[in-house]
Structure 1
Amino acid sequence: MEGVIPNLRELHKKLLEASPLHEDLHTCAALLAPCLPGEPAKDSGSELAVCGENVPVPWVPRDVTLLKLSLIQILIIKADNLCTKRHIRCQYSHLLELLQQAGIEATIVRLSNTSDKVLSHIASKCLSYLVLYQLKYQHEVNAHWLQFCLFSLCQDPGSRTLIPCLTSLVYVCKGFLTDEKLQKADLLLMILVPLENVFERHFSTVITYLSNPSCQPLALVEEPSGHLSCLLDLIETLVALRTQLKLNVSLCKQVLSAILPQTLNLISSPVPYFVKKQVILVLKRCLLCKAGEDFLPSPRILSHQQDAMLDKDMAALAGTLLGAVQEGWLLQVPVSDRSSSFGGVNDGSELGPDLVILGATCLSVLKALEIQVHNGESGQTEVLAPDILMAHLLKFLKRHIEWKEPVHPCEWVSLAFIEQDDDMLEVAKCLLKMYQHNPSLCSPSTSCESENSIWSGSSHRSGSDPHCVFLFLLSNVSFDSSVLLDFLISSETCFLEYLVRYLKLLKCDWPRFRLTCSLFDKSRNFHPSGVSFHPPQEQSVKATPIQSDCICFPNLLLPTPMEISRPASSPVGHTKHSTPPSPSGCVNSSMGALQRLVDYDSSEDSESESADSEQGPVIAHSAGDDGTDIDKHMKRLELKAHSPTSPPSQPSAQAGGNTCHVQGTQQRAVQCLEDLQEAVNRLHRKKLFPYNPSALLRLLSHVSGLSTEYGGTHVLPEQPPNKI
């Protein structure tokens, strides 16, 4: 078969099938050897020989080179794959040795420096495959690749070789995280030690250049955003090597303690918005020890072994961030009116601030404070006052979230993280730790403590009261215990740790929790999803005087004219519903809470089942399922299912007309926790729960006992509607 392209197609077919190569390996090596643009092909049947009328002549050399680079990648993958037969792997490995003897590394490096972006990217990726293969099987670093990286990092920020160099470095470093055979300190040192001084100097040069007020990056640098994005990817990958593999490599330590803090200066630099957004996201993941979570093959469980050096590096990063916050860094953080789509164009009509960067900024600051508090307990650092930090944070939030006055400061957690339940729980955990470690916030409550003193406390003023945060969380999920069960089972949130900490707090802070629930009940604007006022027309939005003992903050369960577009009572992280509110304000929200993806009650023993019947599986409901389980829940909530032919009955006013029977916030919260306890206990008995929940069940039982001892159903006087 004459010509290069037909031979390459035949070789491609064999490589995909992992078939043996019957041709001479030297011939295959000569066929795969890539050519530089402008050089004649080594084969006599060159590209021109296969260039017919349907193939444009100027594009043939480039296409052939791209095809050869792709085939080399496939060859490396098949030679490394254990599923490939052993004798075929040996044949492919021998072919790779012949290609290395022919010096293809130098050719691929030169192809990475071309102005053709596609060719440069494919060549850089192919070179990375080859470097990882040599590290894994030959235990040596490719000299051509290392020299290429050192040369590129010494160039000016506008050099064309920087992006392919950084892309290749990121891919090679990711290989250490994803391949256990490469996770050896000596192999990593062979790469990172030569790059240590060069990389730090290059990053400092970039930051200094961008910090210059007279710099014009768009005019002086060809690809500033791409260069900075690759640089941030490499920083996150190096931090992941430090935190995930526990490797005390000097460069990884410098990145975490010295280089990453310098990225804070990019927020005030003339760089694109999506680069600043990436800075905040990388900072958040590094502070949470989740660097690299986007590209790791599976979530890694961090070991709880004490690492004093890592704690010291984290403390340095946290201290730099908190110092910048005190100097007004938060006021420089940009929050776009809509999602930036990472540099793309968003033509959607959804308004509101970019909650991703807003939430990541808040979580980064709170996590930095948590790290500082942890180190302050051992006397290593001076702890910044939490109320001062929260004042800066609330000022930043009010600047971008148009809160309606009067407002409860603790509501910011629900507003900023309504679309990110994992980050919301991280923030709730940070606030809870801050509350427990700050004597001015966490003072023992007394039986004679008044509601006004509770509401005017520093924890409420600073938006960090754990009871309010917990109640707002339950409100956002419509007091639905199945959502909490999802959080407990999921490995993507810290809800288990947060819930255990909070339940321990309730044991010694129950009076304050009851007072907080009472204040929630007295607020006319806060309507738990089980509250039903009657008659319906009394739920007016007209301006009326506000009673002095009524604590007011915006309703989270009814639509508000805020710029954040979110549903009235959709569970966090679940499908949003846009059904209009019903006059009763009760049936729709309760039914919305029952529309869940998986019904955990299906594992409960039914009264109609025989004692020796076999346990049934957990059933996922579809649109055609019957409503047996929904009817059970409605019976528990004392609701009636209305038939399609009969209209729902309207609630009637009682004699007296000035009271409404309310299932108070405390009762709904305790009922939600009791339902959660029942569901966890049921799944644990059937050996369906993923871990041993005995300690959690004991804490839940204790809360139920406190409610029985101190609780009671409230009959509250109806308050007039507040001003809107």
Structure 2
Amino acid sequence: MEYTMNCRERYAVIELFDCITDAYRCFLNGSRPSQSAADVASLIYLGVCGVVAGEDRVSVSSKYCHQNTGELTCISVTLVEKIISSLMSQSQPAEVVSYCVEVLRVLFQDTDLMSQLVRLFQNEDQMISHLAAKSVSTCVFYRLHKSRTVSPVWQQKCVQSFNSSPPGAELDACLWSLTEVLKRLLKGAYREILEKLLEAFDSSLSALCSKFLPEGRKKAAHPLVDFISSRHWGTTFYLLLDLLEVLTASSLTCGAGVCLRSQRITHIHSSALLTAVSLSSDGFVKKRALLLLKKALLQKAGEDWALEEVLSPGLKYEHFNSDMTTLAQTVLTAVAANWLQGVHVGSASFFGGTRRIQGDKSQKSDSVMLRTVSLLLLKSMVLHIQTAGGTEGVDSAVHGYLQSLWAFLRRCSVQLTEVTHLCCWISLVFGEQDDDMMEAAKALLSIFLHHRPICGLDDDAVLEAACVSGFNPHCHFLLLLQSVSFDHSILLDFLISAETCFLEYLAQYLKYLRTDWQGFTAACARISVSDCPVLWQESLAYSCGGDMAVSTCKGESEQVEFSPCFQPTDVISPVERIGFIAGLRLVEYDSSDYSDPENMELSALDIEQETSTPQVSIRQKEYKSSDSTLLSDPNFPLERRPDQHSLPVIQNEQASCTNMAPPSGHMSCEMSTRVVLCLSQLSEVVTRLQTKNLFPYNPSSLLRLLAQVNNCFQQWHLSQLNKQ
């Protein structure tokens, strides 16, 4: 300490700031500072302690102290993190590495800098508190990585804060710090260290969540009201929700091992989380809580930052099924108790804030909230069906939940109040998010398949009732294809991407389609361009260069029908049609580099992985470069296609559709022809990629389903011709 006091007499604040800045620049450039490691360590220590011990501050003018001491602390704390990050990156020269190691030895062994950094957690300046938490997290992770030991000072501070601290800066810093350390361990697949750290915090985290999220809806309301009255409640609660997602994600890494209570908090305290959604006035808190519950139900907690192979060990922990059932039942119980009535959805947000224009009826509701609530309820219904079995009581309850969802959506969305065909709701709500749309479509298909055999109605009546309730799977599939302009290459991207469950959904739907072609054709007659949401029509108009014929029908209100620039009755070659449809795509996929097919789940298809030939991963750009030119090549041999006559037959059938007298039959033929053409093109390109060993899994089962659908179409068309 005598050495430190000598430094205090020797350096003024300005000199400290300049020296630390010079050292920071050196580390950024990959060189070592001119001062010794001990001198740099002392400078850093003085800079960190400058705002902690006010009576020991360097004697300078009060004006300068107030304005610049905080900046000195910030750069000093940031320099500590930079030094540790340089060591972990392993990209520095050997002499710089040894220099950094010596600086850290002096800081954390001779001067006990960790205690000073932890004290900054309670600083009123949010910038200083956050930078301290960031630096401490890096130090803790570095120590865990190097010596497999937890910093006792940091652990004691966090445990104490979790047990006793009210919402505020100190608790916020501890929550953020622990969350960051756990995230890094999950990203790096440090399973043993992660388990050890979670065990150390298990009891304190359980106590913290029991205080913020008491079990039981009746017990949850009163404490939450008390916390909401606190000025810091919103920020603290949001950070707690971030921590809960990390804990939930860590439970997916347990496999068949022991899962701690803290890792199950999201499921155990789900009732209190739902209560927070209805009671909180902070929109960001509501949204974060709902997203947490949705990710827990979909088993996607941590998907944005954790390694997929870490979160998918195969086996689940002992209480996994019961926890999922508890979460689903909690959601359904809340919905039955009119929980949705208390969920208020604000206006859609954008980078400028939230639109609040008086008299603006075109304002859109927050689509994230609508999607999350919808998917949360749909997934809970599916789990309820799977656990309760097929009974009439379950079926009537499912219809009640769906009616509650429709009432909620109509109350919150102006667009949905104008929909006459309720099956369009899924596209209006989920159209901006592919992964959620596929999850919703798969859930609604499961609900329909459960409802179909126990309702006691014939097939036509079942589909009519499904349309009235908005879950006709044929309509959903047709609207999905319309939304991508019947572009098979987009479907291919969905198939090879691990970001959606499209493979499972498509396989399940095609299996059902084989058994109900009549219901499919009825849906084709029902779906028209006017059924498309306005968003899709605008996208189609933009893709066609604005060449859209618009006709207005006068009535009580103006209704606009869009006639696409492409007329399906025009007879063109399959290759030309492929080129046209490709030109209508809504999204430019040339720049997409996010499809990761290496870890596709294929359980829904019961696909057997090939063992004779290695699987080659393929991304969007690889497909574009190797195969997209073949689609527009008129000289491409037909014998390379899975069905030599499928596309020419479809072309001839499309031409013959123009001679069919009944308007409904004409519409049905046009729509079904476009659907089967799209699926045939998809089958063709998947087959070509498979022959080149470029497809990421064995698609034989999928190709068989697509061929069977094509056969159903040909048989149906022949029957239509015989009726003429």
Give the TM-score, by structure 1 length. Answer: 0.76
Classify 1:439/1:582 alpha carbon distance in 2 versus 1 (closer, same or farther; 3 Å): closer
- Which of 684, 688, 695 is the matching residue for 2:690? 684
Contact 1:158 1:223 in 2 (8 A): yes
Spell out, residue by residue over 1:82-128, the C-alpha distance to the aligned partner (whole angstroms, 9 max, x if none).
33355643442343232112111111111111111111111111111
Corresponding position of 2:278? 268
CA distance in 1, matches of 2:327, 2:565: 49
Describe the SS at the equivalent of 2:124.
coil
SS at 1:503 equivalent:
helix
Question: What's the secondary structure of 1:154's corresponding residue?
Answer: helix
**1:61-72, aligned counterparts within 5 Å?**
61-72=69-80
2:591 aligned with 1:585, yes or no? no
Deviations 1:137-181 (A, max 9, x none): 122222221222122223364444221121112112212211224
Report the counterpart of residue 179 of structure 1 in structure 2. 188
Residue 292 of structure 1: SS of its match in structure 2?
coil
Alignment of 1:222-233 (within 5 A): 222-233=231-242
Q: Helix, strand or coil for the counterpart of 1:290?
A: coil
Deviation digits for residues 377-399 of structure 1 (CA, Å, limit 9, x no counterpart): 599x9898322222222222222
Alpha-carbon distance, 1:441 to partner: 5.8
Aligned to 1:493: 500
Q: Does 1:594 align with 2:583?
A: yes
Distance (whole Å) between structure 2 residues aligned to residue 691 and residue 344 of structure 1 = 44
Q: SS in structure 1 opposite 2:288? A: helix
**Map of 1:420 onto structure 2:** 433
Matched, 1:58 2:66: yes
- Which residue in the other structure is 1:619 paired with? none
Matched, 1:311 2:311: no
- CA gap of 1:127–1:392, structure 2 versus 1, over 3 A, is same
One-letter code of the match for 1:352?
K
Report deviation, 1:580: 6.2
Structure 1 residue 288 corresponds to structure 2 residue 263: no
The letter of the residue matching 2:177 is S
Quick check: 1:666 aligned with 2:672? yes
Say whether residues 1:568 and 2:537 are aligned partners. yes
Q: How many angstroms apart in 1 are the aligned matches of 2:659 and 2:390?
A: 61
Matches of 1:680 and 1:582, distance apart in 2: 35
Separation (CA, whole Å) in 1 of partners of 2:699 and 2:51? 64
Hey, what's the Cα distance between the residues in 1 that align with 2:481 and 2:194? 46
Q: SS at 1:180's partner residue?
A: coil
Inter-partner Cα distance in structure 1 for 2:147 and 2:659 = 86
Change (3 A) 1:708 1:13: same
Q: Quickly say closer, same or farther: Cα 1:5–1:267, change in 2 above 3 A.
A: closer
My pick for the range that moved more, 96-105 or 3-12, is 3-12
Counterpart position of 1:191 = 200
User: 2:410·2:417 contact (CA, 8 Å) conserved in 1?
Assistant: no
Contact 1:76 1:129 in 2 (8 A): yes
Tell me if structure 2 keeps the 8 A contact 1:273–1:343. no
Partners of 2:191 and 2:253 within 8 A in 1: no
Deviations 1:348-383 (A, max 9, x none): 97622222111111101111122223333599x989
Per chain length, whose mean CA-contact separation is higher, i.e. which structure has more relative contact order (CA < 8 Å, sep 6+)? 1
The Cα shift of 1:430 comes to 0.9
1:385 is the counterpart of 2:363? no
Amino acid paired to 1:582 = A
Does the C-alpha gap of structure 1 residues 211 and 636 become closer, same or farther in structure 2, counting only changes over 3 Å? Answer: same
Confirm or deny: 8 A CA contact 1:256 1:314 kept in the other structure.
no
Question: Partner amino acid for 2:25?
Answer: K
Asked whether the 8 Å contact 1:322–1:368 carries over to 2, the reply is yes
Q: Establish whether residue 14 from structure 1 lines up as the match of residue 26 from structure 2.
A: yes
TM-score (norm 2): 0.76
Aligned equivalents of 1:610 and 1:468: distance in 2? 35
> Equivalents in 1 of 2:210, 2:122: separation in Å?
22
Among 109, 117, 140, the alignment partner of 2:126 is: 117
1:1-150 to 2 correspondence within 5 Å? 3-20=15-32, 23-33=35-45, 34-37=48-51, 39=53, 56-85=64-93, 88-101=96-109, 102-150=111-159
C-alpha distance 705-32 of structure 1, shift in aligned 2 (>3 A): same
- Structure 1 counterpart of 2:701, one-letter code: A
* Aligned pair partner of 1:675 in 672, 678, 681: 681
* Deviates further, 291-300 or 477-486: 291-300
- Where 1:570 maps in the other structure, the secondary structure is helix
Contact 1:240 1:292 in 2 (8 A): yes
User: Contact 1:239 / 1:286 at 8 angstroms: preserved in 2?
Assistant: yes
Decide whether aligned partners of structure 1 residues 677 and 656 sit closer, same or farther in structure 2, where only a CA change above 3 A counts.
closer
The 1-side partners of 2:224 and 2:306 are apart by 40
Q: Which moved more, 1:181-190 or 1:430-439?
A: 181-190
Q: After superposition, give the CA deviation of every residue in 1:412-437 in whole Å (9 maximum; x if it has no partner).
A: 21121121221111011111222233
* Matched residue type, 2:447: M
Structure 1 position 703 matched with structure 2 position 709: yes
Counterpart CA distance in 2 for 1:265 and 1:410 is: 30
Of the three residues 153, 164, 168, the one matched with 1:155 is 164
Name which of 424, 430, 434 aligns with 1:411: 424
Q: Which moved more, 1:350-359 or 1:397-406?
A: 397-406
Deviations 1:617-675 (A, max 9, x none): xxxxxxxxxxxxxxx99x97999xxxxxxxxxxxxx99999999654322222222112
- 8 Å CA contact 1:376–1:383 kept in 2: the answer is no
Following superposition, the deviation at residue 230 of structure 1 comes to: 0.8
**How many angstroms does 1:707 deviate by?**
1.2
How do residues 636-675 of structure 1 correspond to structure 2 at under 5 angstroms? 662=667, 663-675=669-681
Give yes or no for contact 1:19–1:88 (8 Å, CA) kept in 2.
yes
Tell me if the contact between 1:210 and 1:217 (Cα under 8 Å) persists in the aligned partners: no
- In the alignment, the residues of structure 1 paired with residue 401 and residue 351 of structure 2 have an alpha-carbon distance, to the nearest angstrom, of 29
What is the rounded CA distance, in whole Å, between the counterparts of 1:575 and 1:166 in structure 2? Answer: 47
Q: Does 1:507 align with 2:517?
A: no
Matched residue of 1:353: which SS? coil
Higher share in helix: 2
Cα RMSD of the aligned pairs, angstroms, is 4.2
Structure 2 unmatched runs, 5+: 1-9, 551-561, 569-579, 591-623, 639-646
Residue 515 of structure 2 aligns to a residue whose secondary structure is: helix
Q: How does 1:473-484 map to 2 (within 5 A)?
A: 473-484=480-491
* 1:245 positional shift: 5.1
Q: Which moved more, 1:423-432 or 1:504-513?
A: 504-513
| Distance 1:30-1:42 versus aligned 2 partners, 3 A rule | farther
Give, in angstroms, the shift of residue 579 of structure 1. Answer: 3.1
Q: CA deviation at 1:22?
A: 6.2
Distance in 2 between the 1:177 and 1:239 partners?
A: 11
Change (3 A) 1:655 1:401: closer
Distance of aligned partners of 1:127 and 1:393 in 2 relative to their CA distance in 1, 3 Å threshold: same
Structure 2 distance, partners of 1:493, 1:298, is 13
- Aligned 8 A contact 2:653 2:717 in 1: no
Q: In the superposition, relative to structure 1, how do residues 345 and 658 fare at CA in structure 2: closer, same or farther (>3 Å)?
A: closer
How much identity, in percent, do the aligned residues show? 28
- C-alpha distance in structure 2 between counterparts of 1:181 and 1:93, whole Å: 23
List aligned pairs for 1:327-366, cutoff 5 A.
327-336=337-346, 338-340=347-349, 344-346=353-355, 351-366=363-378
What one-letter code is carried by the residue in structure 2 that aligns with 1:281?
L
Alpha-carbon separation, structure 1, partners of 2:165 and 2:675: 60
Answer yes or no: is the 8 Å Cα contact 1:124–1:165 preserved in 2. Answer: yes
Q: What's the offset of the Cα at 1:270?
A: 3.9
The answer for the alignment partner of 1:527 in structure 2 is: 528
Q: Distance in 2 between matches of 1:257 and 1:479?
A: 40
* Correspondences of 1:431-442 after superposition (within 5 Å): 431-440=444-453
- Supply the distance in 2 between the matched residues of 1:286 and 1:172 (Cα, whole angstroms): 21
Superposed displacement of residue 291, structure 1 = 1.0
